Structure 1
Amino acid sequence: MSELAIHFFFFWVFFSSVITGSAATAGDGAAKTEFDFGTLTLSNLKLLGDAHLNNGSVRLTRDLPVPNSGAGRALYSKPVRFRSPGNSSPATFSTFFSFSVTNLNPSSIGGGLAFLLSPDSDRLGPAGGLLGLSEAAGFLAVEFDTLMDVEFEDINGNHVGVDLNSVVSSQVGDLGAVGVELKSGDLVNAWIDYDGSTRIFNVSVSYSNLKPEDPILSFPLDLDQFVNDFMYVGFSGSTQGSTEIHSVEWWSFTSSFDSSTSPNSGSSPPSSSPPPPPPTTTLMNPSASSANEAKSPPPSLAPSESNSASSTTQKDSKSSSCHNQLCKQGPGAVAGVATAGAFVFALFAGGLIWFYSKKTKRVNSNKSDSFASEIIKMPKEFSYKQLKQATKCFNANRVIGHGAFGTVYKGILPDTGDIIAVKRCSHSGQGNDEFLSELSIIGTLRHRNLVRLQGWCHEKGEILLVYDLMPNGSLDKALFEARTPLPWPHRRKILLGVASALAYLHQECENQVIHRDVKTSNIMLDEGFNARLGDFGLARQVEHDKSPDATAAAGTMGYLAPEYLLTGRASEKSDVFSYGAVVLEVASGRRPIERDANNNNGKIGGGACSNLVEWVWGLHREGQLMAAADARLGGEFDEAEMRRILLVGLACSHPDPLARPAMRGVVQMLNGEAEVPMVPRAKPSTTFSTSDLLMSLQDSVSDCNAMITISTSSSEKSFDGGDIV
């Protein structure tokens, strides 16, 4: 055992023996409940009716393709104290949850879900418009209703309401007013807060992970009239002859009493109302959930040698004798020991920290300095523990993407409820190098169309990058996986945003940044469908006007410029080519490489792979450029604007890098401030000197129709980039 470990061991033994008694005296009224999906276990969750678990989320209704009427309820299995004897204020509580309402049949709607405070954990209300709520038992609920029901005085089929012992809401807010559509299937975030001292009830709803400044509902509420001493918290949902699926993806909850109004530690509950088992403190040890089964202690029993075990079921058994001795000596002794313990703790901890920092400063200085130079400009350092908890131990169900040399996880910070994206380095030397490169580059960048880096973590041999999570996902998913086509105005705005970001990287940064992996899966969409270019794992910084070094070509086939494949030299012009492929992909609704595709009735391309850039060049040659427009748009676009953008895509995809426009010029073209350069009908070919062929094609070219032709000149090779995919 190391010297440091020995010091910590004796410190812990000493401090535990001092403060255990004072900790055990905390009265019931000061109880605090805190948990989230990262700490809950199956024994902490009670499911009723149709409620069930599905890939880490809680679904309140069944997944049936045919319309049905049913109800389900999911509750935290332990009762939570909302009123405390001797405390004039009810509990202060706050909860954050993310949920979605999806529908297997969009024309079949009806039901909804609600956050619920219920006096019992066994009763499930009716299905249909009642949302599984039971008026006979009494409840407080915040409903998210997807059907306008005249019987319940609903204002529309997209509202939030506060229900007090009745499904007729006493307070109602139109979610359309804050831009939220429950039936969209998108993830919705909700915050519910109640201040026990001011007695103000607030409800906030947003697609964003940032809590809105102004709640959608805010009103005074005397919670005492609608809750018992103990209530169960959770969710209730129902279908009303529909195929709606109500899924809770994340949930955190905390409640406590104002310490200034807490009762004395010696207070006992009134004998007329024996309480259930105490509601437990922070659920950092889910395995202790067997306490749920404990019977209620008899009322008004003073602590003694015979009953100390039952009155302190949540305390370590080794501390019970100390607890009894302190209680016999009265509150004065408790306060004295607690004060002394805190004083000794401060002295000992301060000395220990000083000793350890002096001892390890020299050892760690070189290591810390080498990494600090990389992250000195980073906004925030996160702890590994924070990010592990936020991602549920990097659970596979939290994976939302795979970037260059890393996996991206969805995370929710337990302290704030902020939703984040955590990029975790692959455990390889190259992966670490790429992450350090990404960290050093993106930490210095600031642009509205770049994904914002929130912070970083370098612990336990791992490098983690923390970004804003974009609620509308990546552009490729919006184009190819959404239930409805991405509207043309959104597409136009996205292309302009990406062009603006690349112009910033190429021409406005202190050092030029070459992204090297511009593609639709690396373009994220925020709540307003604004483009945010991300994933800088392959990016390189070079001085302006300096020729880039040759490297192994990296990126994604279909987006790679022909000269980059042949020479390994990435430049701003190779980024422009990648952007051109993105433009054609967005305008046509076709992927850059499609296998087994119908290549325009065999007119263009051939074989097992279809190259989008070549396909559009072929249409342009035949005078049919507008045939490239995405048919799913149904003609709902300005034809002149579509033609302009297709020509911009071809101009950027020119085989000759010198003929491609700069990204600042592309921004001007998209804004109508500059004309698109003349794009020849026939796709030009370009030549490369043999001295430029610095790498083997076998490491760069896929197996789909690769072709290099030898020209009549022995000193040059002619390259048709369209046949490499």
Structure 2
Amino acid sequence: MLPRKLLLLLLVAVGVEAGVEFAYEGFPAAGLSLDGIASVTPDGLLLLTNDTDLNLAHAFHPAPLRFHRTSSFSTTFVFAIVSELNDLSTSGFAFLVAPTSRDLSSAMAAQYLGLFNASDNGDARNRVFAVELDTVRNPEFADMNDNHVGIDVNSLNSSAAAMAGYYDDATGAFRNLSLASREPMQVWVDYDAAATEITVALAPARSPRPRRPLLTTRIDLSTVVADTAYVGFSSGSSIVMCRHYVLGWSFSLDGAAPALDHAKLPKLPRIGPKPQSKTLAIALPMVTTAAVLAAVGVGLLLLRRRLRYAELREDWEVEFGPHRFAFKDLFDATAGFKDKRLLGTGGFGSVYRGVLPGTRTEVAVKRVSHESRQGMREFIAEVVSIGRLRHRNLVQLLGYCRRKGELLLVYYYMPNSSLDKHLHGHGHALDWAQRLRIIKGVASGLLYMHEDWEQVVIHRDIKASNVLLDGDMNGRLGDFGLARLYDHGADPQTTHVVGTMGYLAPELVRTGKATTASCWRTGCWGTGGMAPLSARWTRS
């Protein structure tokens, strides 16, 4: 018999060479190498991400492949992105080729797709080739939009990218596809080593491969892909519950990837409520006319009431801390959002003063429409960030409510309005003791966000109108709609300037990188900002 060590070496060698071509039409017996939250469902679907928040997912063909530096390769796979929110996903996923020596455990979830982290993104030592299917526009990676396909080499800043879709063979017209549509789609990726050319095509599942590819670019992968490497998929969950499924996958070295038989692919789980029973559908029309009329009359009354107070409620919301308010309670608290309760309006929407029934707590209700500058993602960012922050100099978010077309945030009412009113003559004049107390309060809140909380929160829009004053004239920082969260020690890595122009720190406008240091200086520079409060308030 062969010695145990020699036998293991032979098995590894066989595994390396045996994987030059494979096809999986479902994954129950594929023996994939899985880590993180990746799994194979009982139905045979490869499930990369589940409902777990901010975790990695990797799935690789079990045996490494020998690319010999100059090998061509071809792959195709069928996938579906199924989000709890229709057509909204806060992370994508990627097909990748990674060296056997690379440890992906240090990668980050969410926008990093489980591929890299803030410090190694762009490092040539990664030796990673990937094709990303991204459903979020991340300015720090110069993404073109929130629905694109990108070719990545050692970085999430794509070497080439295109809007998700395909070119119709009959007309040549471009057809858009929504990656997060919950519908199966097929991707084809080919690398021609002789021409150093990569092509990527995308189409709805069961459609033929488009003759014109979505992406074509010249990249010499011989300097990127290691001689021995793994092929597979990578993703990372985020704050919105989203499931990334792979239904089938084939791969070939130095040849065309085997075609997938769509009839053999596992089915996606049913989405939405069960269809109505046929028996019930037949029985209902047989009720008497009087009963129908009575039911319709009652139903119309209930429907009118229901529509008046209708809300949106989705499963992902149970993970967030802030309390969910009933719209009816907020409607009653603000006297039906009457104009006499209006505190102010702006690009963010409108704010109303209210008194909660029962507790008699005074609140400010911020009513934001989907058409305003703060959309769903900004709403989620604010709920997730400020909803878990607890500090006496931060405006406390009490809860929220969602309706079709609008979002509502509920805060403690600040009776002395915003700081800018008092600085510019619309309130009573502030003496220097009050000014100093406000400065120290806002600084204390910033210190908590930057150093004392579990993550670093960069506000990115500090200005006098976002500093509110309570009954004792203490300053409280509010409006976290543009806030970004980072792990302590991580580099923000952003190149997209946000905030109110005229209030931004000079280096933020120049570099595009929001940091805790620039956050201290933001708001002090514009004449309408914090400068009138104290000309000496800066911190480096």
- Give TM-score scaled by structure 2 length: 0.39
Structure with the bigger percentage of strand: 2
Larger Rg over CA atoms: 1
